[in-house]
């Protein structure tokens, strides 16, 4: 079934706005769909997939769209639509456009220049090559330029994984257990979930397997005092609350009340009553100082460049300037220092990002250990063994899309040395 020609002009309109990079692509798309309520589900899906295809392949598509005649924006959309829904689904093309598009689709991309094939800014490509080598960077780039699967976390307070698999099958939605996260499911295709009873009653939440593993390695236990220091919309908070079996006290801190407000409906569905969302002004807020030295476990999923989430947010690589990474590093060091004051003697602190870059990961962890002699690094291999997670890691957790089929995540675990003097100032 062919898409109506107006879909291409609609996609052009929203792509023009998104390529200004004034706001995240998903925010701009949501606003556009809200302003155009007559677009049906199929049309919205095609436009969204087209936009994300252009953002993933922007370097290559722009190079092809600017060659020859015709409007560049329309050609970008044609390439994106062909990638998203297939050439045969496109209606309203001129004969010249059809011929041009067929030629572009026949290009063997493996023969392209390496940075063009990677479809990322040169500064980012060079950084990744420095870290991983050229060959692995190209494999990683291919994975980052592929849409992410849909992962779910089963809420253990309401269901078990086998029950959820069976109930999803009735929908019918096929799902398989994830290999590392004990409550994770990977769903085939991308069905609408919000109307399912499982979703409405809080038995499932959408959460990448890597994010689930991060929550797992904190090792939160029944009856403990736990802090999710940069809680955001609360995906990991909900996972931690369920791990604690709805006992103890779990604080969800964030500097954005707007982000925390998104946690409230999820919290209501989850059945959790041990979660306490708290808006803070900064990492030195008085609300934090009152809890200094009293917390068993603290998770710091720090603000970062987000380069590990490019499968979901491909616009991030084009919106972030290289100098932002140094700014992120300074902010991450400060946040981790602030959060560390909460940890009691013998307690644990997990630093995590969804970045692939050493400056935001290893360098922050190394700096923390150097400047905080009252903490020691707990090797990730030990932590994973404690949690019975079958992953081969050294000192740090490093999840990569091309190796683990998750988003890119980093984590380091620190433990406050017993009887160490509390730093409350």
Nearest to 336 by CA among 357, 351, 348, 315: 351
Residue 203 has a pLDDT of 97
Residue 423 has a pLDDT of 46
The angle subtended at Cα 21 by Cα 18 and Cα 27, nearest 5°, is: 60
Is residue 134 helix, strand or coil?
helix
pLDDT tens string 115-124:
889 999 999 9
Distance (Å, whole) CA 173 – CA 166: 9
For residue 383, what pLDDT band results from cuts at 50, 70 and 90?
very high
Q: Are strands 184-187 and 150-154 parallel, antiparallel or unpaired?
A: antiparallel
- What number is the average pLDDT over the span 351-375? 98
Residue 353 has a pLDDT of 98
- Chain Cα centroid distance, residue 236: 12
Residue 67 has a pLDDT of 80
Q: Please give the share of the chain, as a percent, with pLDDT higher than 90.
A: 89
Nearest to 55 by CA among 312, 305, 315, 307: 315
Distance (Å, whole) CA 401 – CA 417: 34
**pLDDT value at 294 more than 90:** yes
Residue 112 has a pLDDT of 87
Nearest to 215 by CA among 244, 258, 177, 174: 244
Residue 68 has a pLDDT of 66
pLDDT tens string 297-308:
999 999 999 999
- What number is the average pLDDT over the span 310-335? 95
Residue 1 has a pLDDT of 74
pTM across the whole model: 0.94
Q: Which of 61-65, 193-197, 401-405, 416-420 has the lowest mean pLDDT?
A: 416-420
Residue 425 has a pLDDT of 44
Distance (Å, whole) CA 422 – CA 425: 9
Residue 422 has a pLDDT of 46
- What number is the average pLDDT over the span 129-154? 96
Residue 113 has a pLDDT of 86
- What number is the average pLDDT over the span 20-35? 96
Share the mean pLDDT of the chain: 94
Distance (Å, whole) CA 415 – CA 289: 19
Q: Which of 63-77, 134-148, 323-337 has the lowest mean pLDDT?
A: 63-77
Q: Which of 44-48, 176-180, 401-405, 416-420 has the lowest mean pLDDT?
A: 416-420
């Amino acid at each position: 079934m062919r898409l109506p020609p107006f879909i291409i002009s609609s996609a052009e309109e929203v792509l023009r706005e998104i390529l200004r990079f004034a706001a995240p692509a998903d925010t701009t798309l949501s606003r556009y769909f809200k302003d155009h309520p007559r677009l049906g589900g199929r049309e919205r899906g095609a436009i969204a997939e087209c936009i994300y295809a252009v953002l993933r392949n922007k370097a290559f598509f722009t190079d092809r769209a600017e060659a020859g005649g015709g409007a560049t924006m329309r050609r970008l959309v044609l390439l994106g639509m062909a990638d998203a829904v297939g050439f045969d689904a496109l209606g309203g093309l001129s004969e010249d456009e059809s011929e041009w598009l067929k030629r572009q689709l026949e290009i063997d991309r493996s023969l392209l220049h390496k940075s063009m094939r990677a479809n990322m800014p040169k500064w980012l490509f060079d950084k990744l090559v420095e870290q991983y080598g050229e060959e692995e960077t190209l494999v990683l780039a291919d994975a980052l330029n592929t849409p992410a699967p849909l992962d779910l976390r089963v809420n253990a307070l309401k269901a078990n994984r086998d029950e959820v698999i069976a109930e999803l099958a009735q929908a019918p939605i096929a799902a398989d257990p994830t290999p590392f996260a004990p409550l994770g499911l990977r769903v085939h295709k991308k069905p609408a979930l919000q109307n399912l009873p499982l979703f409405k009653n809080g038995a499932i939440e959408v959460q990448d397997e890597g994010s689930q593993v991060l929550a797992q390695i904190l090792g939160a236990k029944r009856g403990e005092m736990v802090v999710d220091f940069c809680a955001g919309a609360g995906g990991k908070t909900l996972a931690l609350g369920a791990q604690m079996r709805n006992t103890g006290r779990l604080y969800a801190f964030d500097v954005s009340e707007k982000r925390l407000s998104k946690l409230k409906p999820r919290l209501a569905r989850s059945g959790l009553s041990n979660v306490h969302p708290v808006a803070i002004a900064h990492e030195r807020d008085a609300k934090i100082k009152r809890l200094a030295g009293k917390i068993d476990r603290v998770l710091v999923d720090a603000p970062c460049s987000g380069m590990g989430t490019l499968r979901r947010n491909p616009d991030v690589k084009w919106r972030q300037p290289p100098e932002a990474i140094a700014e992120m590093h300074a902010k991450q060091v400060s946040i981790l220092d602030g959060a560390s004051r909460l940890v009691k003697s013998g307690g644990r602190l997990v630093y995590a990002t969804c970045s692939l870059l050493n400056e935001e990961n290893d360098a922050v962890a190394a700096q923390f250990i150097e400047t905080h002699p009252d903490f020691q690094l707990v090797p990730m291999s030990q932590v994973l063994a404690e949690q019975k997670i079958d992953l081969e890691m050294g000192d740090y957790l490093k999840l990569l899309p091309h190796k683990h089929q998750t988003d890119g995540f980093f984590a380091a675990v620190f433990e406050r040395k017993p009887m160490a003097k509390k730093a409350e100032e």
